[in-house]
Amino acid sequence: MNIFSGLEKIVKTNYPLARDTWYGLGGPADYFIRPETVEQLKTVVQRCSENNIPIYALGFGSNLLINDDGLRAAVIKLDAENFAQTQFDGEQLTAWAGAKLNELVLTCVKKGLSGLEALTGIPGSVGGAIKMNAGGNFGDIGTATETVTLMDSQGNVFEKSKPELVFDYRSSNITAQFILNATLNLVGGEPEQIMRTVKEIWIYKKNSQPLNTRNCGCVFKNPRGVSAGVLIDRAGLKALQIGGAVVSEKHANFIIAEQGCKSRDVVRLIDAIKERVKEQFDIELELEIEIWD
């Protein structure tokens, strides 16, 4: 019997995952599934559990590196219309996991709602952003997030709210398999002023990051009180290249995938950077990107 009998419309097999990541790297997944409703997602999750199929939840693929050999697993992407909804109620926003951050930032600007400007220029979805508490020098999404609706690996749906819901630097205490949606509290303001802030953040990122390259954003978290990019730069690693992977000369915490790059090239370069920074500064760099293998 077909494990996903009745769900053929939303299930693809031997799917090339590279096309769904910003790096454009990695092998195929046994199953690639795009549920259209919460009920379908629940059915998929339960069938995976019953058949011992590992599950990966894929967002925008912007901070992700996938093994060259691919995944013997089901990769589930919540980008159908039902999972990309946004609803505004005064200064409160309910955003579903598949909603795109950049579109959401601009919608908030038009509505005169402040609180998400720090997400400007971050390519991602709401679900992934909340899971890793996306942000930068100007703030993070966790500050505005009040409640999340989650689904566990058995298909059970439940809510988690502050103070039980905790956000830290590039992390949260969310362990559930899926974020379905989140409620965020915003603050009213003048659209012109909010847009000025958005433009300032965008200009800063455009000037300091290699935005027009194949990369997955910052590779390493900043150690307490110091920039990972500065450490990598001081270690003399800008432009270091292994295979098709190279450390950006514009921002040393970015690894660019050039023509012919493989995931293993990026991994080897990551290991080389960690080793050199450890040798020179006795600091263990911690990954900000996710690696699936």
Q: What is the mean pLDDT of residues 111-127?
A: 95
pLDDT tier at 211 (50, 70, 90 boundaries)?
Answer: confident
Band of pLDDT at residue 23, cut at 50, 70 and 90: very high
Q: How many CB atoms lie within 10 A of CB 128?
A: 25
* Bridge-based pairing state of the strands 11-16 and 28-33: antiparallel
pLDDT of residue 228: 97
Domain ranges (residues) in the chain: 8-81, 84-207, 210-292
- For the chain, what percent of residues have pLDDT higher than 90? 97
Rounded-to-integer distance, Cα 249 and Cα 265, Å:
18
Q: What mean pLDDT comes out for the span 178-192? A: 97
Class of domain 210-292: alpha beta
Do the domains 84-207 and 8-81 match in fold? no
pLDDT at 134 > cutoff 80: yes
Q: What is the pLDDT of residues 91-111, one digit of tens each?
A: 999 999 999 999 999 999 999
Mean local confidence (pLDDT), 235-257 = 98
- Can you tell me which residue has the tokens 């915490």? 253
pTM: 0.94
Region 141-166: mean pLDDT is 97
Q: Mind listing the pLDDT tens digit for each residue in 37-95?
A: 999 999 999 999 999 999 999 999 999 999 999 999 999 999 999 999 999 999 999 99
Helix (H) or strand (E) holding 228: helix 228-234
Tell me what pLDDT residue 278 has.
98
Residue 128, pLDDT score: 95
Specify whether domain 84-207 bears CATH 3.50.50.60.
no
- Which pLDDT does position 8 carry in this prediction? 95
pLDDT at residue 279 tops 70: yes
103 to 117, 122, 125, 278: CA distances (angstroms): 11, 11, 10, 39
Query: What is the structure's pLDDT at 1?
Result: 53
Chain mean pLDDT for the chain: 96
Fold of 8-81: 3.30.43
